[in-house]
């Protein structure tokens, strides 16, 4: 499932095509994705101007001139693809309709935004912009890891006394929003912390030291266009490249890339998810 860097990369790709533009035509090809789509969705989108395009955790939020916000979640295989508009040095013509093109937005500038989702684990909803943070998908989310509310004292306080492993604590969206399996593995390796270590046993200073590492990993991944492992593509259809610099994720049995370490990457299963780490340099 796309994590914060992938969603932010898609948002940045969509922004030139959508922000400030009118949705000239909206086509909704099915009544549901992971959950039912909002009632009269096409009629509510058509004619609206996208006043802002932002991200909250793993969700893209398109604020509309109608006072509603379109909430978009990519799910496991969802893609938001742009055609009919020059992106950088390239012009992407409108492709032939595909089987899993579920929502299509024709923008006033000639761009077409297509939401394609083969597995239909994605989601879309409409909510009043003034109260969108209270939407059931967003209301329990913790602070953004790249925002000012996420700092050393905050994270140290949230980890204090917790009996869960560090991996589980950082995946808890109520503690910090947007982190997923890939980037938590990478953060813990850069920090030298074992994913199996109890969160409550981490000192306040070490917990605070995680904050800049989390930001560095996320910013590096965004700069690389995210990580493409299976279905993920950027808005222009290109792959992300951060997977080529993974230190531990999906590298079981390979040498640790930590300077002077010499250890071997190991995989363990925690709460049904694979954790990759180096037992030699992560304690």
The catalytic residue positions are 2-3, 58, 273
* Contact present, 235 and 13 (Cβ < 8 Å): yes
For residue 273, what is the enclosing H or E element? Answer: strand 273-277
* Contact present, 126 and 68 (Cβ < 8 Å): yes
Residues 6+ apart with CB under 8 A from 281: 189, 192, 256, 258, 261, 263
- CA–CA distance, 31 with 37 (Å, rounded to integer): 6
First-to-final CA distance of the chain: 28
- CA–CA distance, 236 with 127 (Å, rounded to integer): 27
CA distances 110 to 84, 149, 238, Å, are: 6, 39, 21
- CA–CA distance, 247 with 228 (Å, rounded to integer): 15
The residues that bridge with 116 in the sheet, in sequence order, are 79, 101
- CA–CA distance, 229 with 217 (Å, rounded to integer): 17
Q: DSSP letter at 202?
A: S
């Amino acid at each position: 499932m796309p994590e914060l860097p992938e969603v932010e990369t898609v948002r940045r790709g969509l922004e030139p095509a959508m922000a400030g533009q009118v949705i000239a035509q909206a086509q909704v090809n099915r009544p549901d994705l992971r959950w039912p789509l909002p009632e009269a969705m096409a009629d509510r989108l058509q004619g609206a101007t996208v006043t802002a395009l932002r991200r909250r955790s793993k969700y893209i939020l398109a604020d509309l001139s109608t006072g509603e916000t379109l909430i978009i979640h990519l799910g496991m295989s969802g893609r938001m693809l742009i055609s009919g508009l020059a992106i950088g040095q390239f012009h992407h013509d409108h492709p032939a309709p595909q089987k899993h093109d579920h929502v299509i937005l024709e923008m006033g500038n000639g761009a077409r935004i297509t939401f394609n989702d083969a597995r239909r684990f994605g989601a879309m909803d409409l909510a009043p912009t003034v109260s969108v943070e209270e939407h059931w998908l967003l209301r329990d989310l913790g602070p953004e890891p790249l925002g000012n509310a996420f700092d050393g004292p905050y994270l140290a306080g949230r980890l204090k006394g917790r009996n869960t492993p560090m991996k589980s604590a950082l995946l808890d969206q109520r503690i910090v929003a947007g982190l997923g399996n890939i980037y938590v593995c990478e953060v813990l390796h850069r920090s030298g912390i074992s994913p199996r270590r109890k969160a409550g046993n981490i000192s306040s200073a070490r917990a605070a030291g995680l904050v800049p590492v989390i930001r560095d990993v996320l910013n590096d991944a965004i700069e690389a266009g995210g990580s493409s492992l299976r279905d993920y593509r950027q808005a222009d259809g290109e792959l992300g490249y951060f997977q080529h610099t993974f230190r531990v994720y999906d590298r079981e049995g390979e040498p640790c890339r930590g300077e002077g370490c010499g250890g071997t990457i190991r995989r363990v299963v925690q709460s049904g998810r694979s954790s990759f780490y180096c037992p030699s340099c992560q304690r």
